[in-house]
Amino acid sequence: MARKRWLHAAWMAALKQGFLTGGWPLRRYVRIAAIGFALGVPLYALLAWLLWRGGFSTFDLLAYGITATTLIRPIMIVATTALVIMLFRRGGALSARVAAAGRAALTNYLGTSILMTTLFYGYGIGLFGRLSRAELWLVVLPAWALMLWWSKAWLNHFRYGPFEWLWRSLARGELQPMRLKPS
């Protein structure tokens, strides 16, 4: 319970000091991320190597995979937070793309479901169980990129994603305007 209070106080202090709001200068975030990753990534790599070398035994899993990582995790959390804040600062290209994906969340959810079931289920390509965890990233990353690309491109011309438009039209009992007015 004391650890939970300490953690809560630390994040509240980070919020109050402007770290979590993106209020610090960019170079401070860069420095925090660089130092955090420079310390954390090699240590995680060492632990992963020790785990692998030990054949993922129960002892090694507890010692390296769970216990030892608790010492590194706070460093990586702060570094990752700094990186995310840098990437999603107001007005950035990535920020606008993620905001657009959020505005078309229902369409993205349904579209991703259709795409992935087509790739992995028997009625489609049937890749379920055929790809390793590493190979799955070859599917996930392009799917994310596609979602971020199409959402912004679509919403540059239309008010809503296609399914958001349908949902609003059904909920309001009349067709909603879809196209953005020309500027």
pLDDT tens digits, 116-132: 999 999 888 999 999 99
Q: Which long-range contacts (CB under 8 A, 24 or more apart) does 81-85 make?
A: 81/19, 81/20, 82/19, 82/29, 82/30, 82/32, 82/33, 82/36, 83/29, 83/33, 83/37, 85/19, 85/20, 85/22, 85/29
pLDDT at 40: 96
Is residue 81 very low, low, confident or very high in pLDDT (cuts 50, 70, 90)?
very high
pLDDT at 65: 85
Is residue 183 very low, low, confident or very high in pLDDT (cuts 50, 70, 90)?
low
Of 16-25, 39-48, 63-72, 80-89, give the range with the top mean pLDDT: 39-48
Confidence check: pLDDT of 3 > 70: no
pLDDT at 154: 97
Q: Across all residues in the chain, what is the average pLDDT? A: 91
Full-model pTM: 0.64
Q: What percent of the chain has pLDDT over 70?
A: 97
> Residue 84's closest CA among 29, 10, 2?
29
pLDDT tens-digit map of 167-179: 999 999 999 999 9
CB 41 within 8 A of CB 9: no
pLDDT at 102: 94
> Residue 112's closest CA among 169, 128, 153, 120?
120
pLDDT at 1: 67
* Cβ-Cβ contacts under 8 Å for 32 (sequence gap 6 or more): 78, 79, 82
> Which of 3-17, 48-62, 95-109, 111-125 is predicted with the least confidence, judged by mean pLDDT?
3-17
> Residue 92's closest CA among 35, 34, 17, 152?
152
CB 109 within 8 A of CB 162: no
